[in-house]
A and B are shown apart, each in its own frame.
Chain A
Amino acid sequence: MYIFIGIVLGCIVAGIIVGVQWSKLISVSAENKADHYVRKDSMQLLKHTDNFLYSKTEKRERPKAPPQP
């Protein structure tokens, strides 16, 4: 079992490292926002309301240890 977990985690970490290095080769991408062009201090929040609607509580029984002989 420990070997299987080790292989899965090892592949995930290796994939992340290789993915980061691969992504450095790509530098051309569309800019979908206009954050650089916001006029300074122009954002004004005129309405700011957080209304509580309702609450719901879930309960789940905890597994109990089997009784000892």
Chain B
Amino acid sequence: MADLQEYKCPCCAGMLEFDPNVQQMKCPYCDSEFSVQDIMQAQQEMQNMPDSSDMEWETSQDMWSEDEISGMKVYKCKSCGGEIIAEETVGASKCPYCDNPVVMTGQFGGDLKPDLIIPFKLDKNAAKAALLKHFEGKKFLPKVFKDQHRIDEIKGVYVPVWLFDAKADASIRYKAEKRKSWSDNDFDYVKHDYYSVQRSGKMEFENVPVDGSSKMDDTFMESLEPFNVKQAVPFQTAFMAGYLADKYDVGAEQSIGRANERIRHSVEQAFRDTVRDYTVVETEHTVIHLKNAKAKYAMYPVWLLNISWNGKIYPFAMNGQTGKFVGNLPADKGAAFGSFFLLAVIFSAVFAAICYFLGF
């Protein structure tokens, strides 16, 4: 059975959780606070002590079949002894029996250990407040949705992410045109001056993120950017206590294509911006070489919320570091058409009056 890690309060033995408000481990029972380093050190000392208690397991008569347990792992909760069955990528969770936060240390050991983690800076209440703020100023959001929505769950998740550095060498050729117009009494003139424009150079990129979990929608993760990697710290499992986490199931080799695609688009746009003072610019030939450094493996904080309304589930997400909130909202089509009709009538009358007085 795989190893679970729990972090107990030295004062009252309650389960510690990482509190984003104070950026320390906090006991929800006695409110004691401890730095992550102190807890890790205490944990290490505990592990070096001989184990004086034995837990006896009763093996069940019924065993899982191969099909049932493929892709799953079985853990034992150290608090209540309950059996936790989780997907093999799950890295942190809560015991379904006693709700204690647990970290599956095997998921983040050895070669699987992340290089960096951005700890949560915002708590669950901030996520709820951000959801209500997200509803503001949306004229076509059905009022019924605002009043009757039901939050199914709010969960803080560490999403595995690959960070890529790259050096780009680019050489791009454009066909550009300058136009000049003038008139005399008899003729209108247009002069076209054609140029061949060449731009070559280099750019460097760092920490371009690509989602390393197939469970987390890539478009959602990209919508939550940017994350500030300068606030990342070296990974320690204690930061995950109280949150959910998965280890990566999309490798760096599969993710690098997306990073390079984004880098190429940025390089093309950056070089295109240096071609100025032309009326028309067309790209003729583009050569971009990318040299990638070794990818870093990081954990990024995200609050996930699901809302049920009208038989549909609406997913929302908040960047656990910056508070950026995203999620598509339903639209009141009736209100939209009504607004369009009303505005069209008003503006049509205004423009018709203007045209009449101008003599059209």
Contacts and interface: CB of A to CB of B under 8 A. Distances in A.
B193 A10 contact: no
B266 A35 contact: yes
Contact of B138 (A25, A54, A59, A62): A25
A1 B352 CA distance: 9
Contacts of A50: 176, 195-198
A13 B192 contact: no
Interface residues of A, number: 53
B98 interface: no
Contacts of A53: 194-196
Q: Which secondary structure characterizes the binding site on chain B?
A: mixed
A21 interface: yes
Interface string B321-360: 0000111111100001001110111111111111110001
Contacts of B269: 33, 35
A38 B360 CA distance: 53
A37 B186 contact: no
For the complex of A and B, the 10 pairs showing the least CB-CB separation, nearest first, are A6-B352, A10-B348, A14-B343, A10-B347, A47-B200, A42-B204, A2-B355, A31-B222, A14-B344, A6-B351
Contact of A6 (B189, B190, B353): B353
Interface of A: 1-3, 5-7, 9-11, 13-15, 17-18, 21-22, 24-39, 42-62
A1 B137 CA distance: 38
Contact of A62 (B171, B187, B197, B198): B187
Contacts of A43: 201-203, 270
A18 to B, nearest CB: 5
Contact of B223 (A7, A10, A27, A44): A27
B345 A10 contact: yes
